Amino acid sequence: KQEVTQIPAALSVPEGENLVLNCSFTDSAIYNLQWFRQDPGKGLTSLLLIQSSQREQTSGRLNASLDKSSGRSTLYIAASQPGDSATYLCAVEGNEKLTFGTGTRLTIIP
Amino acid sequence: DGGITQSPKYLFRKEGQNVTLSCEQNLNHDAMYWYRQDPGQGLRLIYYSQIVNDFQKGDIAEGYSVSREKKESFPLTVTSAQKNPTAFYLCASNPDGINSPLHFGNGTRLTVT
């Protein structure tokens, strides 16, 4: 059974810093890995989807990497802004559909 | 604008009552999903549907029921058999079920007392 872990559960950084969020998974037989953002009391917004054959995807200040063999993904956020404050969740898609991590709650300090 | 609409945003029910959560999408997506989110836990799949008039149980289907009579609509009924129904419920969709990003509604927070 796939398990997805995100550490740390919470992270605070000053505005302007670059930061990395981590995601690990136990079963490397995946179709893709997805990163989402969730604001308090809201649904999830898709940020990036990395196919299993890809190593990374970029969108604006966001860059996600995937190392399937080691069961790890990172989400890099450049030049953080207060508007980046949210919970970031990763999810892996395999035979068991999407398995979600519990998220990292990110706070950007102005 | 295309999207997923969940209603109501907040729902309160007494224990023992069934309640139906609405989910409508105008994205022309084939696949639709219901997830439950509890504090400190990842999203858990309740039911999903990849085509009209067909749906499959997810990891935690007990105490829930769904229907998919129209492509746009995937309502979820929380029955009195669900032991711990208070949670945040999220509906999602994607075009064909595999390898495409999920689009989510803004959720319904159900409180049962």
How far CA B77 is from CA of A27, B22, B48, B61, in Å, comes to 33, 9, 13, 11
Which burial class, exposed, middle or buried, applies to A31 when counting CB atoms under 10 A from its CB (0-12, 13-18, 19+)? middle
Mind listing the pLDDT tens digit for each residue in A45-58? 999 999 999 999 99
Residue A28 has pLDDT above 90, yes or no: yes
* Predicted local distance difference test score (pLDDT) of residue B97: 66
- pLDDT over threshold 90, residue B11: yes
**Mean pLDDT of all residues in B37-66:** 94
Cβ–Cβ below 8 Å for B99 and A46: no
Strands A4-5 and B76-78, sheet pairing: unpaired
Closest by CA to A74, choosing from A16, A3, A6, A12, is: A6
Beta strand B44-51 with B108-112 is unpaired
Please give the pLDDT value at position A1: 87
Task: For residue B107, list chain A residues with Cβ-Cβ distance below 8 A.
Answer: 41-43
Q: Which residues contact B71 (CB under 8 A, 6 or more apart)?
A: B28, B29, B30, B52
pLDDT of A6 strictly over 80:
yes
What's the gap in Å between the CA of A15 and the closest CA on chain B? 26
pLDDT score of B41 more than 90: no
